[in-house]
A and B are shown apart, each in its own frame.
Chain A
Amino acid sequence: MSKNISNLSGRIGLKDNLFKQISENTLSDTPKDINEIAKEHNLGVSTLHGAESFYEFLRPSHREKKAFVCNGSACMCAGTQDKLKDTLKEKLGDDKVGEMFCLGHCYENNAFHYDGENYAGKDIEKIDQILNGEDIIQDKFFLKVLQLLVF
């Protein structure tokens, strides 16, 4: 929809695309007024506001939180998330823990996101180290290739 906005956005191009500009601006420590970005590109500020308000990560309510537990179906069924959430709330505060849908660790559960990184499985046991900003060693999962399996 909106051939106009698609074309006007096309003038900005893919490399430093409008979505990137909007999200980087919102997530930065000193965001510009989006009116400025809009004027620069001959767009209505409403376009940028509408886009910005669409995404979970760009909303103020999300950005106030520090950790996010996975609320995907697999982790939910595994039943690990309630305890995980409690632990994190204890460490960070009740209102500082939110949710994210599926971090891709369905094979080990206990998945959560903190400060730009994903953790899962046994990582919660090292929570104090994580909160201190230390890098921890995380398990990698494995692949088995069964290309020629004939039934």
Chain B
Amino acid sequence: MSSEKRKIAYIDGKPYEIGANHTSILKFVKSYVGEKKVPTLCDDPNLAPYGACRVCSVEVALEKDGPTRMVASCHTPVAENQHIFTSNEAITNLRKNIVELVLTDHPMECDSCEVNNNCELQTVANDLGISDHRYNSPKQHKGIPRDTSHDYMRMNLDNCINCGRCVRACDEIQGSFVLTMSGRGFESKITTDNDMMFGDSSCVSCGACAHTCPTDAISDVFMSKSADVDEKVRTTCSYCGVGCNLEASIKDNKVVAIDTPKETEVNAGHTCIKGRYAFSFYDHPDRLKTPLIKRNGKFEEASWDEAYDFIKKEMNRITKDNGPDAFAGISSARCTNEENYVFQKMIRAAVGTNSVDCCARICHSPTAWGMQQTFGTGAATNSTEDIYHADCFIVIGANPTNAHPVTGAKIKQQVMKGKKLIVLDPITTELAKLADYHIKLRPGTNVAVLNMMLHYIIKSKLYNVDFVRDRTEGFDNFIKEIERQDVDHLAKVAGVDKQLVKEAAIAYATAKNSMEFHGLGVTEQEQGSKTVMLIADLAMITGNIGRKGVGVNPLRGQNNVQGAADMGCQPHQGAGYYEVADEKNQKFYTEKYGVTHPTKPGLKIPEMFEAAIDKELKGLWIIGEDIVQTDPNSAHVVEAMNSLELLVVQEIFMSETAKLATVVLPGTTFLEKDGTFTNTERRIQRVNRAVPPLPGTKPDGVIVTDMMQKLGFDQPTYDAEQMLKEIADVVPFFKGVTRERLGKLGLQWPVQEDGTDTQILHTESFKLGRGRLKNFDWKESTEIETNKEEYPLILTTSRILQHYNAATMTRRTKNINIVDEDVLLIHPKDAAHRDINTGDIGRLYSGRGEVALKVEVTDKVKEGIVFTTFHFPEHMVNMVTGHGKDEETMCAEYKVSSVEVQKISNQFKTEVKPKENQAEVS
């Protein structure tokens, strides 16, 4: 390969080497002589070349001094020995004339335009020296009313230059196909859906169109493209585990708009409605602005010192009388790595107990456990970039177009272009509609279906002999157990077609590169950890580990749940995942923290509730987690909280949990602090402070450090950079991480001392050496076993695009106008039996509690299943969910609750169908 001749082409007479990524003359020229050499209008590096504006025209000759012809550089390939001329009289005249033509149909009102001084048309026209046109009375498209119907998007078609970038972005990046050009020729115009207003359309407000629009034809209410800002701060989103890179526009110390930077590894200028537009929660009037202490049942304002002293007194009392294990902490997966680290340090080193946990407990703890048992590392094996190298995708129990929009969009793009897709989901999600194989299984039967798939692969001898032989152990026993599986019975329990599962299994096994994604549909079940281990088996026996385009990739929900776990916020493993019960590790931590590290594994969150009710746990400190709304069986959680003697809640809003606190401490959002988040592909990215903390609040790391000092622990004053250095010293896979090295693009752990990061895990061997193949039989969920007679329906809950979990943040933005309630989806057959129609109010109830919800009848849900979201405290859907837990990790069984539905009234029965995007599952 190294003997391949260098291919040369000439730019304005000088020779340059043609690189592999120079797919067009434009790219070739840009990479060597700069971005500004050749002007463009319809080009966007994130979109396929379009060839509409022709402003990028250059002249090329096949040989030196040969005859030239004019071509558009954006879509013409660069050829060996080509002579390219970037500007001469003919080219400049052409560009000038084209821009002049554009100006004949463009209002020349730059001064009052949002994008004055940030407009691509303005820039190109100025560079060419064009400011007017010579045409006599040209017809113009102007006076088109601005479309302000949408809560966020704005359309001002007077300024549209028909470059088509918005249409292409909605097609090639987001994949929603909301925008199109309609009409023909001179009368072509941008249209939404079939000529709807933005507000009535199927738009999901990802803002990709506004972002790419070169003028202000499409923008947003925040005027995110205005150049009138003081500065722009790059940071990382605090909603989901994708970890989009964002750019906050600051004016007068306020965040006025959010946009996406062009150069990122994760999201290439794209994000979703939450990341881009739902940021106004940060300075919402509901923000907590002062510490509060509850006296006589009422909250009283207090100073920080007062609050700290109160807490210290109570904590000391509790631990003195009952031992340190009478205290526990729940950390926040939305806080930074630094904050999570220092919090678990406080609980372990300053208080002296291992009872610290985080929301991974109710989300991906089975993933961490299962993958640690099979591979040795409980994190995504590959990177999001691998999506471009996969030939087959399998998505199990996840709805990424809702919950991880940018990743979901990337998968959708590949699938639309013909890559195979297998979806295991009881709901027909957006991806399921496009899937080659949608296995619509009953919740609680993941193990059954995976056993079927493994069975078919083994029986058809489609497993990867080399990989199994060289990289795994336990195959002989594995085969025996798999062959024993009764696929007919399993198909029946799961309610799926045997043939479909067989074909899906064969597709997965025979594809060159098969990539797996899974979400909480896998983990939040009684056999969650077992399911994860079977998924690992599937990947191992087919050799889909350790290279590009494959892997086992959990879609971590929160922006930093990976980080919270990495930093040690679990009761059995400390920072860096060392088992606390191990003497060797205790020595290590003791040395690092300077204090004897506790060895007894602590309480998991569900155990904390039990212990509180039993009066063994007396004190609890919670950061940024609304367990009352989000944990299952809310009544039980409330009882637990009310049983405590001291409940400290560190929050940004008065959440349902904060309402029950003894002390409330006001923390800050991601926009007001420095730190790092680790996303779902193990990428550690910088969070950069955009604005100072709101008056009265303190960054969460500062609060915890202050408290540690109050408790007499020698912890230096909180500084994100310093803390990261400390982490690098303790957590082995953070060894080479510094704030500076993270730069703009972040690094994926493990990061070596010299700063080299790791895109793909297990390339040579697993952390355990060989991967361990495990077997499990399917077992019916206890919840269903116990309750199916009285409560024959199965409730499964999840999220939608517009709101985030408890929606404490999104409900305090305009997203509330788009979706303002949880809606119950029910299958037509089940609805008919219960005489329920769309628009009715239904009583959803279980052995634990009940809730009233508006109903929508649809066949998106499998028969026997009902579905809703949990975003609204007014409904408190978790009153209904149950006690089921994953057997290994106690992860809550949200996906399987036995329920029944009854019609309450048809008071709201109208002819109007629920809006397209209201509680839209797909």
Contacts and interface: CB of A to CB of B under 8 A. Distances in A.
Consider the complex of A and B and state whether they touch directly, i.e. have CB atoms less than 8 Å apart. Answer: yes
Interface of A: 1-5, 7-8, 34-35, 42-50, 53-54
A50 B434 CA distance: 22
B184 A46 contact: no
Contacts of B176: 44
B171 A5 contact: yes
Contacts of B193: 44-46, 49
Interface stretch (B247-255, B412-420, B682-690): B412-420
Contacts of B434: 42
Contact of A53 (B175, B183, B202, B433): B183
Residue picked from B48, B171, B178, B195, most chain A C-beta under 10 Å: B171
Given A44-B202, A53-B184, 13 more contacts: A2-B168, A3-B416, A4-B417, A5-B177, A35-B194, A45-B202, A46-B178, A46-B191, A46-B192, A46-B193, A49-B194, A53-B191, A54-B184
B181 interface: yes
A49 B180 contact: yes
28 contacts: A2-B168, A3-B416, A4-B172, A7-B416, A7-B417, A7-B418, A8-B416, A35-B194, A44-B170, A44-B177, A44-B178, A44-B180, A45-B193, A45-B194, A45-B202, A46-B177, A46-B179, A46-B180, A46-B193, A49-B191, A49-B193, A49-B194, A50-B180, A50-B181, A50-B182, A53-B182, A53-B183, A54-B183
Contacts of A1: 48, 50, 168
Given A45-B202, A49-B182, A54-B183, A4 B175 contact: yes
Nearest to A2: B171
Nearest to B52: A1
B50 to A, nearest CB: 7
Contacts of B183: 53-54
A8 B181 CA distance: 19
A34 B194 contact: yes
Interface in B202-222: 202
A50 B177 CA distance: 11
A53 B188 CA distance: 9
Contacts, number: 66
The CB with the most chain A CB atoms within 10 A, among B182, B194, B418, is that of B194
- Classify the interface of chain A: helix, strand, loop or mixed: helix
A23 to B, nearest CB: 15
Interface string B308-329: 0000000000000000000000
A23 B195 CA distance: 18
Contacts of A35: 194
A42 B922 CA distance: 11
Contacts of B202: 44-45
A2 B175 CA distance: 10
B75 to A, nearest CB: 10
Sort A-B residue pairs by CB-CB distance and give the 7 closest, nearest first: A44-B177, A50-B180, A49-B194, A46-B180, A53-B182, A4-B416, A50-B182
A43 B194 CA distance: 12
Contacts of A49: 180, 182, 191, 193-195
A7 B178 CA distance: 18
Contacts of A43: 177
Contact of B433 (A3, A7, A42): A42
A116 B240 CA distance: 58
A30 to B, nearest CB: 18
A1 B194 CA distance: 20
A145 to B, nearest CB: 39
Looking at A3, A8, A45, A54, the one whose CB has the most chain B CB atoms below 10 A away is: A45
Interface in B552-605: none
Contacts of B179: 46
Contact of A2 (B172, B182, B191): B172
A21 to B, nearest CB: 15
A47 B417 contact: no
A2 B193 CA distance: 17
B438 to A, nearest CB: 12
Interface string B150-183: 0000000000000000001011100111111111
Contacts of B180: 44, 46-47, 49-50
A44 B177 CA distance: 5
A39 B218 CA distance: 26
Contacts of B48: 1, 3
A46 B182 CA distance: 9
A72 B124 CA distance: 40
A54 B181 CA distance: 9
Contacts of B195: 49
B538 to A, nearest CB: 27
Contacts of B172: 2-4
A48 B177 CA distance: 10
A2 to B, nearest CB: 6
Contacts of A47: 177, 180
Contacts of A54: 182-184
Interface string B232-271: 0000000000000000000000000000000000000000
Contacts of A44: 170, 176-178, 180, 193, 202
Nearest to A3: B417
B136 to A, nearest CB: 26
Given A7-B417, A8-B416, A42-B433, A50 B191 contact: yes
Contacts of B416: 3-4, 7-8
Contacts of B413: 4
A4 B171 contact: yes
A44 B203 CA distance: 10
B436 to A, nearest CB: 10
Nearest to A56: B184
A146 B175 CA distance: 56
A58 to B, nearest CB: 11
Nearest to A10: B418
B171 A48 contact: no
B451 to A, nearest CB: 31
Contacts of B433: 42
Interface string B383-418: 000000000000000000000000000000100111
B110 to A, nearest CB: 30
Interface string B416-459: 11100000000000000110000000000000000000000000
B795 to A, nearest CB: 27
Nearest to A35: B194
B496 to A, nearest CB: 22
Contacts of A45: 193-194, 202
Nearest to B164: A1
Contacts of A8: 416
B198 to A, nearest CB: 12
Nearest to B179: A46
A1 B169 CA distance: 12
A54 B170 CA distance: 20
Contacts of A53: 182-184, 191
A133 B695 CA distance: 84
Contacts of B50: 1
A33 B433 CA distance: 20
B418 A46 contact: no
Contacts of B178: 44, 46
Contacts of A5: 171, 177
A90 to B, nearest CB: 31
A101 to B, nearest CB: 13
Contacts of B168: 1-2
Interface string B769-782: 00000000000000
Contacts of B170: 44
B6 to A, nearest CB: 31
Contacts of B181: 50
B99 to A, nearest CB: 23
A58 B329 CA distance: 66
Nearest to A53: B182
B565 to A, nearest CB: 36
Nearest to B189: A53
Nearest to A33: B194
Nearest to B172: A4
Contact of A48 (B175, B194, B417, B418): B194
